[in-house]
Structure 1
Amino acid sequence: MRTIEECVEAALAVLTPQVRVGFAADPITVLRDGLDLKVQQAPHLAQRRGDGGACDGVSFLQDQVILFAPTPYSRRENFTLAHELGHWLVTQTPPVYDWLFEQPDPNQELETVCDGIAQRLLLTQSSIDQVVQAGPMQARHVLDLYEHSNASIPACAIALAARLPGLGAVVIVEHRGPPDPAVVAYASIRPDPERGWPKVYPWPGQDVPAGHPLHHVRAGGSIRRRSFWAMPWGERADFYLDAVEVRGRWIAVLADTDLWGAERFHPNTAREFDQRPEREIHCCGQTQKVRGYPCPTCDEAHCPECGKCRCERQQDELIMCAGGCFLIFRPNLLVNGLCEECR
């Protein structure tokens, strides 16, 4: 496994072609009858929208239960069910689990993989090709794909973000009205094909940075210009922006290059990426190279098999004295289960 797309493909390989084809037409029936999962409505989940508002569901995978907020006359619940199925598929695909463990933020990448699974289940490649026939990706393409399919807006955003030629994102921004700030309702990130995830990117639940053009709502308006994004803790990076306003929210494409020729001048700006060191470790009966930040105590990377560093493995070997002192020791320091003081 090297990329999110490979993880999505590996997870979907668990499903038969019949299940994949039937899911878009009748998700609940396929989940119950085709995969033997328990699917139940949970209206209270609409009060606390998971995954930044794109997915109103929760899974209890050990019990094979999926709960979802029903959304009559809407495509929203289809995306929720597909996303939760993605979580189940990841548990059935050990190589994907191993890849996620090696990432800077496994939970972030997990949600992105599940979003990708949902998009693939709800949209065909031919429908995407029909919308994006020529020219660069545009925010308006998200609306076009929504109108020509049975998929939700987030599913369309995911499909089109994957078609970006380099680093970028498709973002949905909602305006709650004063005094609340504009907030990212959904974001699908396209990492750089070579350098991976940037340190600055939009993510569901983030407030739109102060001074950003997406704060200004203009009914039916559009934006195409050089802009930026900033993380809540202050890190900032430049992006080029193409956005359209629809019913009080912006649909926007952010890209690290000017795909639309919006500006005449293109300054060279440095962009930081998550680059974790690679270490060789010996654990679980094998020697392997792993990428990750080392433990600050023992300076060893965590094993992708057991998830532990050297000091955590040593800690597991300690045994509590049976004499009642409640102290722990290495096994060779105990005699008949007792430490030197208790003997």
Structure 2
Amino acid sequence: MNLEVCVERALSLLTDDVRARFTESPMAVLREDLKLTVRPAEHLSDARDDGGACDGVSFLQDGVILYAPTPWSRRENFTLAHELGHWLVDQAPDVYDWLADQDEPGRLLETACDRIAQRLLLPEAAALTVIGAGPLTAQHLIDLYDASQASRPVCAIALAKRLPGLGAVAIIDRATQEVTHASVKPDPEQGWPIVFPWRGQQLTQGHALLGLASGASLSQRLPWWTPWGAQADFYVNAVGDEKRVYAVFCDSDLWKIETFHAPIQRDFDTRPLLSGSCCGTTFQRRGYPCQACRQPFCPNCGDCRCERDAKHAATCTRCFLQFSPHLVVDGLCVECRA
């Protein structure tokens, strides 16, 4: 199985008729056909800008979707389609299990739901028509947005799938200097790199992309930094408008920027994949275990097993040692009660 097979299997749970009507009326399909509870939640949009990441959250077991309302907008349709993606994945155990076994399962799940949303809202042929003979450029995102009713993130998702290898299509907000959407295509063999553009990342002061004038474009080999200071180069094609910069990142030189291609040092995530249980669920994550209990740290609360045990331990009021709660009676441990 691969990501595209996952998307196809999830979408197969919808009839052709439902998929066709979703494009015209997402809300009606969710409520009337799928019997989901869909409610607006204003607070979800507090920290989001137009063209940003999905403005929704799902409570799958209860069949509830909350979303930031932007009535009749492309952005709202993308949010609803993305949350439907989460619901569909949850209905397909083989898809969910495959995603959970992969590197970076959380990001891969979001990528799968993004692609489900794109398939629901934008025909596959639309991106191919816009790209033509190629190569893929940032201007194609603007052209696809203008030629369709899909949101900018949906257009970015559709285009990122057409990259020949490792790369990403990103949307950067000029006002906040922040990546508001990034659709990443991992390396087909080595998976997710350590350094890549992702939602919420801030561009460094003086970055060439921030200096791109409205209507201007560039094609350069540029560095990209993560919030923790790691850096790697990408070949980048970008174009700007008044509010945003659209950028295509690629591991290979699609745009013939250089004659001589100096090797790009790129590290991939090789930390061990650990499994654990905490906060009412099981999880997998890459990282190193606690040196004391040799168990992974929970991605939700951040605790390992010994830290969780310590939080629930009871302290003896006489010897001040910690024990499991059932071993402490009236404030005293077994030894101090003897």
Task: Call closer, same or farther: CA 1:322–1:110 in 2, change over 3 Å.
Answer: same
Q: CA separation in 1, counterparts of 2:128 and 2:18? A: 23
224, 233, 236: which one aligns with 1:238: 233
SS state at 1:215 partner: coil
Q: CA separation in 2, counterparts of 1:43 and 1:294? A: 38
Q: CA separation in 2, counterparts of 1:322 and 1:268? A: 61
Over the matched positions of the two proteins, sequence identity in percent amounts to 53
Task: Call closer, same or farther: CA 1:48–1:327 in 2, change over 3 Å.
Answer: farther
Task: Call closer, same or farther: CA 1:73–1:82 in 2, change over 3 Å.
Answer: closer
Deviations 1:276-295 (A, max 9, x none): 4479x9xxxxxxxx996564
CA drift of 1:124 comes to 1.2
CA contact (8 A) 2:58 2:65 kept: yes
> Paired residue for 2:222?
227
Q: CA separation in 1, counterparts of 2:31 and 2:260? A: 56
Q: CA separation in 1, counterparts of 2:59 and 2:95? A: 19
Q: Counterparts of 1:118-137 in structure 2 under 5 Å? A: 118-137=117-136
Q: CA separation in 1, counterparts of 2:285 and 2:62? A: 33
Deviations 1:14-61 (A, max 9, x none): 222222222111101111111110112233432233999222222222
Task: Call closer, same or farther: CA 1:207–1:292 in 2, change over 3 Å.
Answer: closer
1:66 aligned to 2:62? no
Q: TM-score, with normalisation over the residues of structure 2?
A: 0.80
Q: CA separation in 1, counterparts of 2:210 and 2:201? A: 13
Task: Call closer, same or farther: CA 1:24–1:258 in 2, change over 3 Å.
Answer: same
CA contact (8 A) 2:51 2:152 kept: no
> Paired residue for 2:110?
111
1:87 aligned to 2:86? yes
> Paired residue for 1:15?
14
Q: CA separation in 1, counterparts of 2:49 and 2:145? A: 22
Deviations 1:296-319 (A, max 9, x none): 4565889xxxxxx9999xxxxxx9
> Paired residue for 1:256?
251
The one-letter amino acid of 2:230's match is E
Task: Call closer, same or farther: CA 1:325–1:92 in 2, change over 3 Å.
Answer: farther
CA contact (8 A) 2:39 2:67 kept: yes
1:265 aligned to 2:260? yes
Task: Call closer, same or farther: CA 1:144–1:293 in 2, change over 3 Å.
Answer: same
CA contact (8 A) 2:49 2:180 kept: no
CA contact (8 A) 1:217 1:249 kept: no
> Paired residue for 1:206?
201
Q: CA separation in 2, counterparts of 1:40 and 1:292? A: 35
CA contact (8 A) 1:50 1:56 kept: no
Q: Counterparts of 1:290-329 in structure 2 under 5 Å? A: 295-296=289-290, 297=292, 321=326, 324=329
1:186 aligned to 2:185? no
Q: TM-score, with normalisation over the residues of structure 1?
A: 0.79
CA drift of 1:193 comes to 0.8
SS state at 1:252 partner: strand
Task: Call closer, same or farther: CA 1:291–1:24 in 2, change over 3 Å.
Answer: same
> Paired residue for 2:145?
146
> Paired residue for 2:278?
none
Q: CA separation in 1, counterparts of 2:229 and 2:328? A: 54
Q: Which runs of 5+ in 1 are unaligned?
A: 282-289, 303-308, 313-318, 329-338
Task: Call closer, same or farther: CA 1:152–1:51 in 2, change over 3 Å.
Answer: closer
The one-letter amino acid of 1:199's match is I
Task: Call closer, same or farther: CA 1:96–1:326 in 2, change over 3 Å.
Answer: farther
Q: CA separation in 2, counterparts of 1:326 and 1:157? A: 60
How many residues get paired?
Answer: 314
Q: CA separation in 2, counterparts of 1:174 and 1:110? A: 24
Deviations 1:68-102 (A, max 9, x none): 22224531111010011112122212233323333
SS state at 2:14 partner: coil
Q: CA separation in 1, counterparts of 2:45 and 2:196? A: 26
CA contact (8 A) 1:102 1:292 kept: no
CA contact (8 A) 1:243 1:252 kept: yes
CA contact (8 A) 2:212 2:239 kept: no
Task: Call closer, same or farther: CA 1:39–1:174 in 2, change over 3 Å.
Answer: same
RMSD: 3.4
Q: CA separation in 2, counterparts of 1:222 and 1:130? A: 22
195, 211, 215: which one aligns with 1:216: 211
Moved more, 163-172 or 214-223: 214-223
Q: CA separation in 1, counterparts of 2:72 and 2:104? A: 35
Q: CA separation in 1, counterparts of 2:119 and 2:286? A: 30
